[in-house]
């Protein structure tokens, strides 16, 4: 169609210019028609002699209409969200590898973090399940054994607790609590229950509520009141069938009749770990005998208090100083020892032991580093993809797609990616929940320490806030890095980009600035990876050393199960029971040997005896040798678990009740008590009620067995003969020829046949105990190693992608260089040079960060230190090596480029 | 516009088209409305199916050495809606609209 001939009128020209400018606002597909229509009407108006004012008003009307058209289009775009999402999905499906890697990497990062941070929140950060937790303090006793020795933090004896309770005026309440076990008989088979002996105010401080019945009343402190107990919700359901009629019913605990007065709310978390029932301390004389409440030097009760409103911790601590002095005056040390004191630690600070805190923090920090690496990786993937799409985007921009439109498309695509990553993360977090619970359970396992255990890993759920945070981080990464390239791509002038896509020529940097961004991201990933590698290296070294610690016993196919005959039986009855039981067990098929002992190895120090006398003198250094591990074991104990006899003999038939008292000691005791001489024939005595502290002759020396944690050095141990003492409670050891746990039912049957009221509980095997002893280190190592390996893989992939991209982009340049005489080596150096610099920068930054961050692992290490230069250097070396290998592969491809072929590239 | 009956602007434009003013400039002149208002309303009416736009025969424009123009006609629905709207105006005011 020939162009219309427009009149040479200034006003018409101006109006046309306004309309043309307005037309740019109109969506592209309607723009040409729109302009034609408005110009047609302009012509008509002018033709019929419209006034200047009329013409300008018309033109401005056009502008208003163009704006309206644009808004309509945008509104429609919102409506087409579903369509755009479908488009985004189709586009993502076109690059399945990038999509798959992005989604999995984000998912893993989010999943691991959500699960671990939920644990961290539960263990360390979150509000504890108690009212006014910031005013709750743990109040322990300090006791100096000598004037020049540091004071030991220890539990209270009941008389001292009562005095402190009455005198500590800065506390609203001071409540006592102590874990214990009781045997429930009567309703069904005898069972061993976890109990907490508490003063009634304990439940008040922790804000316990009765689900049924009532709590303890304050007058139930008095021993004369009828003995009562509260049940946990779980016990009420499992043992009493959730019968509301249980209130007021009597049960038999350790043979004493106790009345159930209440069931606690299921949400209540006791301080000492899972508890089946609560007894007032006044019930102790009934279920455990009278001594515990009376003896001022039997320290067993822990205390928790609440600061009075307005009283600061410092004031309370100052107020406690005179209380310590009063305690010293009221309870002079029979051994001539030292002063008492009172220590108060805020509950929020004391709630988790430092090792557990370090463990959970380390693993969570590892997860966070991994998430950052994952985000960096996703960012570089998306940036790389965006740069590949630049020409695509440029063509569309040239065809009239608005920047807003392009950005919107990328926005939706990024959201779909990030959303999918987040959803996968949720799935992983839910799936990993069990594993994390177990890991945290191990991390928080404080058996043998005096820490609180109010967190129940079994009940630890995913934290909603953490999940949102994880999803938020994933979305933010996806969005920011999905969007930035789109934004810059849409900014770029289409012509320049279309030209640039033809391939860079010699000396041209092309899109190298985009590569610098990606290279920085890769360096960032490598730096973080190095921190993880160093952490994993340290834990690996610790694990190797820990696993190399000799446990001291050779047989691991041994069933260990605890038993408790309660307080009612005499030593003679206990000895008869043990002899009969061991005889029955030894005759069971599949049993190689059976024995009894105080407690199993690797379970914490269970009994410490005072060493009274060695030969004719008291021990040389009282402070160091005031305690030895004391174990009462039956004949055949050492043979059952496989402890070597180093000197002399172990217990035999000649070591009966009426025979001369004998002991067997371990290697460490032999070395410390009898340096340079054979201990055989020497005599010593330990404080032990059943042997009346008699002097006993050392008849044998056995190897050291690790009874406490593997990390602790072996302690001197003295073994007493069971037939010269007695084992009213302890552990049975059954060396099996097959699967030890398969023997459990038979062992139970034999015990029940002798005495149906003896509960057997806590069955395990020595193999399991060995595994559990290194479990914490192993789990932390496993997690850090997994994070580090994934981080290394992602960093290597990032570097590989970076170099590959550069090789493709610089194909023509390489061709030219080779044609001009460059050798293959220089091509490889050219391609690897820049990435290598970035890798080294990453490694350097990572080394600095690792040196600083790994010191937080210190408490978890064994046999190595956080600043171990060998491990740091090894980690850095591994990182650089992997990085170079990742960069070399594509660079060698570049070196094989044929100049003729390269120069033909578009 | 919504599901309510057409407003006074819409009615004015429908009546203008009905009376044979089929081009944008003519409708503006007949209704004394600005170009923006007229075209926005025409756009909505087109989308609603009451009005149909079409380009004039290009030969005519070429012959006049001027740009082509676009004209609008009422569809049967548009006719019915205009009649109904007018009936309501009469009902409300007691006299036919003067537009």
Instruction: Name which residue leads in pLDDT, A162 or A355.
Output: A162
Partner residues linked to A344 by β-bridges: A139
Residue at token pair 């036919």: B96
A87-112 pLDDT, tens per residue?
A: 788 878 887 877 887 888 888 888 88
Q: Which of A488-492, A542-546, A843-847 has the lowest mean pLDDT?
A: A488-492
Tokens of residue A548, six digits: 């190399």
CA dist A630 and A722 (Å) reads 12
Collect all residues of chain A within an 8 Å Cβ-Cβ radius of residue B36.
60-65, 68
The domain ranges of chain A are: 10-79, 81-128+352-498, 133-350, 513-549+773-906, 566-757
Q: Chain A: residue nearest B67 by CA?
A: A40
CB B89 within 8 A of CB B33: no
Residue A154: per-residue pLDDT: 80
CB A843 within 8 A of CB A831: no
The residues near A232 (Cβ < 8 Å, ≥ 6 apart) are A263, A264, A268, A274, A275, A276, A277, A278
pLDDT higher than 60, residue B64:
yes
Segment A5-29 shows an average pLDDT of 87
Residues spanned by the domain of B65: 8-93
The residues near A840 (Cβ < 8 Å, ≥ 6 apart) are A880
CB B13 within 8 A of CB B27: yes
Instruction: Indicate the number of domains in chain B.
Output: 1
pLDDT higher than 60, residue A491:
no
Q: Which of A61, A66, A76 to mutate to test the interface with B (most CBs of B within 10 A)?
A: A61
Collect all residues of chain B within an 8 Å Cβ-Cβ radius of residue A65.
35-36, 39-40, 43
Q: Which of A36, A58, A62 has its CB closest to that of B67? A: A36
CA dist B48 and A467 (Å) reads 47
Query: To 5 degrees, how large is the angle CA A418–CA A421–CA A427?
Result: 145
Residue A84: per-residue pLDDT: 77
Tokens of residue A506, six digits: 């010699």
Residue A176: per-residue pLDDT: 92
Q: Which of A429-443, A596-610, B43-57 has the lowest mean pLDDT?
A: A429-443
CB pairs under 8 A between A and B: 77
Residue B4: per-residue pLDDT: 54
pLDDT bin (cut points 50, 70, 90) of residue A623 is very low
A550-580 pLDDT, tens per residue?
A: 889 999 899 999 888 876 778 889 999 999 9
Cα four-point dihedral sign A499, A503, A508, A512: positive
DSSP codes, A124-174: IISPPSSTTGGGEEEEEEEE-SSTTSPPEEEPBPHHHHHHHHHH-TTEEEE
Q: Which element (helix H / strand E) includes B62? A: helix B58-63
pLDDT bin (cut points 50, 70, 90) of residue B94 is low
Interchain contact, A58 vs B28, CB within 8 Å: yes
Q: Which element (helix H / strand E) includes A744? A: helix A744-754
Residue A447: per-residue pLDDT: 42
Rounded to the nearest angstrom, the minimum Cα separation between A87 and chain B is 26
CA dist A412 and A187 (Å) reads 64
Interchain contact, B36 vs A39, CB within 8 Å: no
Interchain contact, B43 vs A68, CB within 8 Å: yes
For A318-349, b where at least 16 C-beta lie within 10 A, e where not — what string?
A: ebbeebbeebbeebeeeeebbebbbbbeebee
The residues near A442 (Cβ < 8 Å, ≥ 6 apart) are A772, A775, A776, A779
User: Under an 8 Å CB criterion, which residues of A touch B?
Assistant: 1-2, 4-5, 33, 36-41, 43-45, 47, 57-58, 60-65, 68-69, 72
Centre a 10 Å sphere on the Cβ of residue A361 and count the other Cβ atoms it contains: 19
CA dist A35 and A596 (Å) reads 101
Residue B3 lies in a domain: no
Interchain contact, B61 vs A37, CB within 8 Å: no
Interchain contact, A37 vs B70, CB within 8 Å: yes
Collect all residues of chain A within an 8 Å Cβ-Cβ radius of residue B58.
1
Q: Which of B23, B39, B65 has its CB closest to that of A44? A: B23
CA dist A88 and A411 (Å) reads 9
Q: Which of B37, B43, B65 has its CB closest to that of A5? A: B65
Residue A198: per-residue pLDDT: 92
Cα four-point dihedral sign A579, A583, A584, A586: positive
Rounded to the nearest angstrom, the minimum Cα separation between B71 and chain A is 9
Q: Which of A816-820, A827-831, A848-852, A898-902 has the lowest mean pLDDT?
A: A898-902
Interchain contact, B36 vs A60, CB within 8 Å: yes
pLDDT bin (cut points 50, 70, 90) of residue A453 is low
pTM higher than 0.95: no
Cα A116 to the chain's mean position, in Å? 6
Interchain contact, B62 vs A65, CB within 8 Å: no
Rounded to the nearest angstrom, the minimum Cα separation between A1 and chain B is 7
A649-673 pLDDT, tens per residue?
A: 999 888 888 888 999 999 999 998 8
Q: Which of A12, A41, A60, A73 to mutate to test the interface with B (most CBs of B within 10 A)?
A: A41
Residue A507: per-residue pLDDT: 38
Residue A478: per-residue pLDDT: 74
Collect all residues of chain B within an 8 Å Cβ-Cβ radius of residue A36.
67-68, 70
CA dist A590 and A582 (Å) reads 14
Instruction: Name which residue leads in pLDDT, A242 or A774.
Output: A242
Let me know if A839 is exposed, middle or buried by CB neighbors in 10 A (0-12, 13-18, 19+): buried
A198-249 pLDDT, tens per residue?
A: 998 899 888 888 888 888 887 777 665 668 899 999 999 988 888 999 898 8
Residue B55 lies in a domain: yes
Q: Which of A1, A69, A72 has its CB closest to that of B62? A: A1
What is the DSSP-derived secondary structure letter of residue A301?
B
What is the DSSP-derived secondary structure letter of residue A746?
H
pLDDT higher than 90, residue A703:
yes
Residue A581: per-residue pLDDT: 94
A344-369 pLDDT, tens per residue?
A: 988 877 766 666 677 777 777 888 88
Collect all residues of chain B within an 8 Å Cβ-Cβ radius of residue A47.
66
Residue B23 lies in a domain: yes
Q: Which of B35, B43, B67 has its CB closest to that of A40? A: B67
pLDDT higher than 60, residue A699:
yes
Tokens of residue A563, six digits: 């038993």
CA dist A881 and A868 (Å) reads 20
Q: Which residues numbered 46-85 in B keep a CB inside 8 Å of some CB on A? A: 58, 61-62, 65-70
pLDDT bin (cut points 50, 70, 90) of residue B67 is confident
Please provide the average confidence, as pLDDT, over all residues in chain A. 81
Collect all residues of chain A within an 8 Å Cβ-Cβ radius of residue B23.
40-41, 44
What is the DSSP-derived secondary structure letter of residue A123?
I
3-state secondary structure of B12: helix
How does strand B51-55 pair with strand A627-633?
A: unpaired
Tokens of residue A356, six digits: 């557990």
Rounded to the nearest angstrom, the minimum Cα separation between B96 and chain A is 30
pLDDT higher than 90, residue B60:
no
Partner residues linked to A702 by β-bridges: A645, A666
Q: Where are the alpha helices (DSSP H) in A260-312?
A: 284-288, 291-294
Q: Which of B39, B60, B71 to mutate to test the interface with A (most CBs of A within 10 A)?
A: B39
A276-306 pLDDT, tens per residue?
A: 999 998 888 887 777 778 888 778 888 999 9
Question: What percent of chain A is predicted at pLDDT more than 90?
Answer: 19
Rounded to the nearest angstrom, the minimum Cα separation between B87 and chain A is 30
pLDDT bin (cut points 50, 70, 90) of residue A446 is very low
Residue A437: per-residue pLDDT: 67
pLDDT higher than 60, residue A4:
yes
Interchain contact, B23 vs A63, CB within 8 Å: no
Collect all residues of chain B within an 8 Å Cβ-Cβ radius of residue A44.
23, 25-26, 69
Interchain contact, B68 vs A36, CB within 8 Å: yes
Whole-number Cα distances in Å, A486 to A386, A397, A755: 7, 11, 79
In this structure, chain B runs to a length of 99
Rounded to the nearest angstrom, the minimum Cα separation between A9 and chain B is 15
Question: Smallest Cα–Cα separation from A4: which of B5, B66, B72, B26?
Answer: B66
Q: Which of A69-83, A172-186, A786-800, A873-887 has the lowest mean pLDDT?
A: A69-83
Interchain contact, A37 vs B36, CB within 8 Å: no
Interchain contact, A4 vs B58, CB within 8 Å: no
Residue A461: per-residue pLDDT: 60
A637-649 pLDDT, tens per residue?
A: 999 999 999 999 9
Q: Which of B35, B43, B62 has its CB closest to that of A62? A: B35
Please provide the average confidence, as pLDDT, over all residues in chain B. 83
Q: Which of A2, A43, A61 has its CB closest to that of B62? A: A2
Q: Chain A: residue nearest B57 by CA?
A: A1
Q: Which of B23, B28, B66 has its CB closest to that of A4? A: B66
CB A705 within 8 A of CB A551: yes
Interchain contact, A61 vs B39, CB within 8 Å: yes
Residue A548: per-residue pLDDT: 84
Most confident of A68-82, A792-806, A811-825, B55-69: B55-69
CA dist A751 and A800 (Å) reads 66
Residue B73 lies in a domain: yes
Q: Which of A1, A40, A63 has its CB closest to that of B69? A: A40
Residue A69: per-residue pLDDT: 86
Residue B98 lies in a domain: no
Q: Where are the alpha helices (DSSP H) in A389-511?
A: 390-398, 403-444, 464-491, 494-500
pLDDT higher than 70, residue A445:
no
Largest CA-CA distance found in chain A, in angstroms, rounded = 138
Interchain contact, A64 vs B62, CB within 8 Å: no
Most confident of A131-140, A296-305, A589-598, A839-848: A589-598
pLDDT higher than 50, residue A450:
no
For residue B17, give the CATH number of its domain.
Answer: 1.10.10.10
Residue B78 lies in a domain: yes
Residue A451: per-residue pLDDT: 47
pLDDT bin (cut points 50, 70, 90) of residue A68 is confident
For residues A403, A405, A406, A407, the Cα torsion angle rounded to the nearest 10 degrees is 80
Residue A689: per-residue pLDDT: 64
Interchain contact, A41 vs B65, CB within 8 Å: no
Q: Chain A: residue nearest B47 by CA?
A: A72
């Amino acid at each position: 169609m020939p162009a219309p001939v427009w009149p040479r009128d200034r006003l018409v020209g101006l109006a046309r210019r306004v309309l043309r400018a307005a037309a740019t606002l109109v969506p592209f597909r309607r723009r040409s028609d729109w302009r034609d229509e408005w110009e047609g009407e302009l012509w008509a108006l002018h033709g019929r002699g419209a006034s200047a004012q009329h013409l300008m008003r018309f033109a401005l009307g056009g502008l208003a209409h163009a704006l309206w058209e644009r808004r309509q289009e945008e509104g429609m775009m919102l409506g087409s969200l579903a369509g755009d999402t479908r488009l985004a999905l189709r586009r993502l499906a076109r690059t399945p590898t990038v999509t798959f890697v992005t989604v999995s990497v984000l998912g893993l990062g989010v999943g691991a973090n959500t699960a671990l941070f939920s644990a961290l929140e539960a263990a360390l950060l979150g509000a504890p399940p108690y009212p006014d937790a910031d005013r709750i303090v743990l109040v322990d006793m300090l006791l100096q054994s000598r004037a020049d020795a540091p004071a030991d933090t220890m539990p209270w004896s009941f008389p001292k607790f009562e005095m402190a309770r009455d005198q500590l005026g800065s506390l609203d309440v001071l409540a006592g609590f102590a874990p214990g076990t009781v045997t429930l008989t009567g309703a069904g088979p005898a069972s061993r229950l976890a109990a907490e002996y508490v003063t009634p105010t304990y439940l008040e401080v922790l804000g316990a509520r009765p689900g049924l019945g009532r709590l303890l009343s304050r007058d139930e402190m008095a021993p004369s009141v009828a003995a009562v107990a509260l049940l946990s919700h779980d016990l009420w359901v499992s043992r009493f069938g959730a019968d509301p009629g249980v209130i007021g019913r009597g049960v038999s605990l350790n043979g004493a009749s106790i009345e159930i007065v209440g069931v606690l709310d299921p949400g209540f978390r006791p301080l000492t770990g899972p508890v089946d029932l609560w007894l007032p301390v006044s019930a102790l004389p009934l279920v455990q005998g009278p001594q515990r409440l009376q003896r001022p030097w039997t320290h067993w009760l822990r205390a928790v208090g609440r600061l009075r409103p307005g009283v600061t911790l410092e004031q309370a601590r100052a107020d406690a100083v005179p209380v310590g002095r009063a305690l010293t005056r009221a309870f002079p040390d029979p051994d001539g020892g030292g002063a008492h004191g009172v220590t108060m630690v805020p509950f929020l600070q004391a709630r988790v032991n430092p090792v557990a805190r370090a463990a959970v923090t380390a693993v969570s920090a590892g997860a966070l580093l991994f998430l950052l690496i994952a985000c960096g990786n996703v960012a570089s993937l998306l940036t790389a993809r965006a740069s590949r799409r630049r020409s695509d985007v440029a063509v569309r921009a040239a065809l009239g797609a608005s920047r807003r439109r392009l950005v919107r498309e990328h926005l939706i695509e990024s959201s779909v990616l990030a959303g999918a990553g987040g959803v996968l993360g949720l799935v992983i977090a839910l799936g990993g929940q069990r594993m994390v619970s177990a890991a945290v359970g191990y991390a928080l396992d404080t058996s043998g320490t005096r820490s609180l255990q109010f967190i129940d890993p079994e009940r630890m759920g995913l934290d909603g806030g953490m999940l949102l945070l994880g999803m938020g981080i994933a979305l933010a990464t996806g969005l920011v890095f999905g969007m930035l390239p789109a934004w810059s791509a849409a900014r770029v002038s289409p012509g320049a980009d279309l030209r640039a896509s033809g391939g860079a020529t010699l000396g041209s940097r092309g899109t190298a600035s985009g590569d610098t961004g990606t290279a920085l991201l890769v360096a960032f990933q490598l730096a973080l990876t190095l921190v993880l590698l160093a952490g994993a290296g340290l834990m690996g070294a610790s694990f190797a050393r820990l696993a190399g610690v000799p446990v001291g016993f050779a047989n691991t196919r041994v069933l260990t199960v605890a038993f408790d005959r309660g307080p009612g039986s005499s030593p003679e009855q206990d000895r008869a029971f043990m002899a009969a039981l061991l005889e029955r067990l030894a005759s069971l098929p599949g049993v190689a040997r059976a024995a009894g002992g105080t407690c199993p190895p690797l379970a914490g120090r269970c009994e410490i005896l005072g060493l009274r006398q060695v030969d004719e003198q008291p021990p040389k250094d009282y402070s160091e040798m005031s305690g030895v591990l004391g174990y009462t074991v039956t004949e055949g104990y050492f043979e059952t678990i496989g402890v070597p006899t180093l000197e002399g003999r172990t217990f035999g038939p000649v070591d009966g009740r009426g025979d001369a008292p004998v002991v067997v000691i371990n290697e460490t005791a032999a070395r410390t008590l009898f340096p340079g001489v054979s201990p055989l024939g020497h005599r010593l005595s330990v404080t032990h009620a059943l042997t009346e502290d008699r002097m006993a002759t050392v008849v044998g020396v056995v190897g050291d067995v690790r009874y406490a944690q593997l990390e602790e050095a072996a302690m001197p141990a003295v073994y007493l003969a069971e037939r010269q003492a007695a084992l009213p409670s302890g552990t049975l050891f059954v060396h099996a020829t097959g699967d030890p746990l398969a023997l459990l039912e038979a062992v139970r049957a034999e015990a029940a046949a002798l005495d149906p009221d003896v509960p057997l509980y806590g069955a395990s095997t020595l193999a399991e105990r060995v595994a559990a002893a290194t479990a914490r280190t192993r789990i932390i190592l496993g997690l850090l190693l997994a994070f580090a390996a994934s981080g290394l893989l992602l960093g290597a992939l990032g570097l590989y992608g970076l170099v590959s991209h550069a090789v493709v982009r610089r194909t023509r340049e390489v061709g030219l260089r080779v044609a001009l005489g460059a050798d293959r080596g220089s091509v490889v150096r050219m391609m690897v040079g820049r990435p290598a610099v970035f890798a080294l920068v990453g490694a350097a930054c990572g080394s600095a960060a690792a040196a600083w961050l790994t010191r937080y692992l210190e408490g978890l290490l064994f046999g190595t230190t956080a600043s171990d230069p060998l491990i740091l250097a090894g980690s850095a070396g591994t990182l650089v090596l992997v990085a170079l290998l990742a960069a070399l592969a594509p660079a060698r491809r570049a070196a094989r480029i044929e100049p003729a072929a390269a120069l033909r590239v578009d | 516009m919504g599901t309510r009956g057409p407003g006074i602007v819409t009615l004015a434009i429908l009546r203008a088209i009905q009376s044979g003013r089929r081009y944008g400039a003519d409708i503006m002149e007949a209704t004394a409305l600005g170009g923006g208002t007229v075209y926005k309303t025409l756009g909505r009416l087109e989308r609603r199916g009451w009005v149909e736009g079409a380009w004039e025969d290009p030969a005519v424009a070429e012959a006049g050495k001027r740009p082509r123009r676009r004209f609008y006609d009422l569809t049967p629905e548009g006719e019915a809606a205009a009649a109904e709207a007018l009936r309501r105006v009469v009902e409300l005011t007691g006299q036919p609209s003067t537009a």
